[in-house]
């Protein structure tokens, strides 16, 4: 009751020269839909940002608002859907309606080397982007899983991770060690190692 909600499409956040793109599902109803910044002000962000900080991608371990001083280094965060979907599950039409924004954001990252998809919907959204932009003809062997990595035809890397939702982190499906390993690998790949 005391909060003023952003309540609009949530823009991407981070370094416009990023080599690493974090791709999420959609704004959290009471996280980024409230704060106006991806993974800010909710449990997913409380899990994500300390790991990004430890991996050297974030200026601080905690994200509370758009005005908290957070900066990302060599990373950008966006999502396949721009508005908070009902029941946190976007409809196919919402995915289609937001797809051009994703295409434009990816095209605007000139140094992009690594895409880290946070969850299956984000992974499928990125594969759909590859098909839409004619980088691949069909899905082929690109299958989601935590820790999967694929080198794409353009030399970029596609990594899969479980989403840092409270459902995954509270049950131990995704641990800090597992998540940090993803971002350590993303940094190495971005640096050509």
Hey, where are the domains in the chain?
A: 13-190
Percent of the chain whose predicted confidence (pLDDT) is above 90: 76
Crossing angle for the helix pair 92-107 and 120-132, to the nearest 10 degrees: 70
- Binned at pLDDT 50, 70 and 90, residue 141 comes out as very high
- Write a three-state SS string for the chain: CCCCCCCCCCCCEECCCCCEEEEECCCCCCCHHHHCCCCCCCHHHHHHHHHHHHCCCECCCCCCCCCCCCCECCEEEEECCCCCCHHHCCCHHHHHHHHHHHHHHHHCCCCCCEEEEECHHHHHHHHHHHHHCCCCCCCCCCCCCCCCEEECCCCCEEEEECCCCHHHHHCCCCCHHHHHHHHHHHHHHHCCC
CA distance 38 to 52: 13
pLDDT above 90 for 14: yes
| Residue pair 90/25 in contact by the 8 Å Cβ criterion | yes
Regarding the domain delimited by 13-190, which CATH topology (the fold level of the hierarchy) does it fall under? Uracil-DNA Glycosylase, subunit E (3.40.470)
Place of tokens 């060599």: 74
Q: Average pLDDT for residues 37-44, to the nearest whole number?
A: 92
- Binned at pLDDT 50, 70 and 90, residue 7 comes out as confident
Range name among 23-27, 33-37, 108-112 with the lowest pLDDT average: 33-37
- Binned at pLDDT 50, 70 and 90, residue 180 comes out as very high
Q: Average pLDDT for residues 15-31, to the nearest whole number?
A: 91
pLDDT of residue 83: 81
13 phi and psi, to 5 degrees?
A: -145, 135
CA distance 185 to 176: 14
pLDDT above 70 for 177: yes
Asked whether the whole model's pTM tops 0.85, one would answer yes
Q: Average pLDDT for residues 125-136, to the nearest whole number?
A: 94
CA distance 130 to 176: 29
Range name among 22-36, 96-110, 146-160, 178-192 with the lowest pLDDT average: 22-36
């Amino acid at each position: 009751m005391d909060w003023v909600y952003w309540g609009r499409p949530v823009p991407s956040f981070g370094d416009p020269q990023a080599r690493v793109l974090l791709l999420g599902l959609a704004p959290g109803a009471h996280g980024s839909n409230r704060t106006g910044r991806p993974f800010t002000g909710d449990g997913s962000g409380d899990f994500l940002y300390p790991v990004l900080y430890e991996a050297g991608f974030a200026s601080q371990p905690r994200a509370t608002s758009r005005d908290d001083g957070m900066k990302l280094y060599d990373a950008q965060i966006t999502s396949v859907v721009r508005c908070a979907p009902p029941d946190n599950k976007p409809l196919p039409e919402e995915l289609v309606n937001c797809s051009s924004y994703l295409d434009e954001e990816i095209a605007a990252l000139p140094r992009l080397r690594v895409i880290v998809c946070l969850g299956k919907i984000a992974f499928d959204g990125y594969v759909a982007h590859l098909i839409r932009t004619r980088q691949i003809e069909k899905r082929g062997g690109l299958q989601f899983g935590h820790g999967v990595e694929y080198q794409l035809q353009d030399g970029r890397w596609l990594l899969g991770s479980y989403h840092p939702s409270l459902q995954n982190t509270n049950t131990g499906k995704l641990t800090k060690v597992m998540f940090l390993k993803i971002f350590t690998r993303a940094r190495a790949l971005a640096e050509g190692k």
